[in-house]
Amino acid sequence: MILRRVISTAKRTQGYLRQTVQVTGLNLPLFETCIDNMQHHRQVLSRQVPEGDMEAFSPNTSLSYPSIEFGTRYFTSRRDDPLSAAMPFDHAIDPKGILTSMIANRYFHGEDNKVLYYRLVPSSGNGQQLRYVFIFIHNGRTIVIMMLTGSNRWILYVSGSAIS
Amino acid sequence: MDPVCFRIGDIIEVQATISAIPVKGNKFKTIAQLRSLALIDGSFTEVSANQNKLNCSSSSAM
């Protein structure tokens, strides 16, 4: 369940502007599993860096329930990703061209900054099952990537190679 | 789909990337990057909004 949705347009450093959503499962078991999985993946990631260098992961609390905040920045720094191609903002994301006007040499809007929005359309055949595949191409300073591909299934990528 | 369609209280599905990013002090932090948001069910939000509207109109009539 969505608790808070923020599309910040405040005048801040553009590298930190981002769209976020805070989600809670109201203590339902599936959401507890999601938090447990994130803790597990944090443990896996912590093995890729020197011991003690990974900060602890702890879920937020909203309405006295555990919640997780997901966010994506609108811009990527050219220092972090000097090669990726810049992309135009989707009209739905930037209808008045405010974000587009903020693009400068040091920052660009690329594939890593995109967020896709869907609406479930029930089909008469297989019930309400979402089926979509997301492909993420990494080029920044992130060291290891994991993807949730729906229905609590995860794929782990290390240095571009799928290992599980 | 237009992101302004989403409302607080909607039932959604999130796709995210769990990444480790470098932060100050040669440390790393685990973050959950939003990749996609799917609206599964907005009926609870609509019922709640209608109930609030009824409550407001009944209190203003008194």
Residue of B nearest to A129 (CA): B40
Put simply, the answer to whether B35 touches A136 (Cβ < 8 Å) is: yes
Three-state SS sequence of chain A: CEEEEEECCCCCCHHHCEEEEEEECCCCHHHHHHHHHHHHHHHHHHCCCCCCCECCCCCEEECCEEEEEEEEECCEECCCCCCCCCCCCCCCCCCCCHHHHCCECCEECCHHHCCEEEECCCCCCCCCCCCCCCCCCCCCCCCEEEEECCCCCEEEEECCEECC
Nearest CA in chain B to A53: B27
* Interval A137-149: pLDDT, tens: 333 333 334 445 4
Query: Would you say the ipTM is above 0.90?
Result: no
**CB contact, 8 Å: B8 with chain A?**
yes
Q: Which residues of B touch A5 (CB under 8 A)?
A: 6-8
Q: Please report the pLDDT score of residue A159 as a whole number.
A: 35
| B17·A147 Cβ contact <8 A | yes
Would you call B24 an interface residue with chain A, using a CB distance cutoff of 8 Å?
A: no
Domain boundaries, chain A: 2-132
Mean pLDDT by 10 residues, chain A (164 residues): 56 78 87 89 90 90 87 91 92 90 87 90 54 36 44 45 33
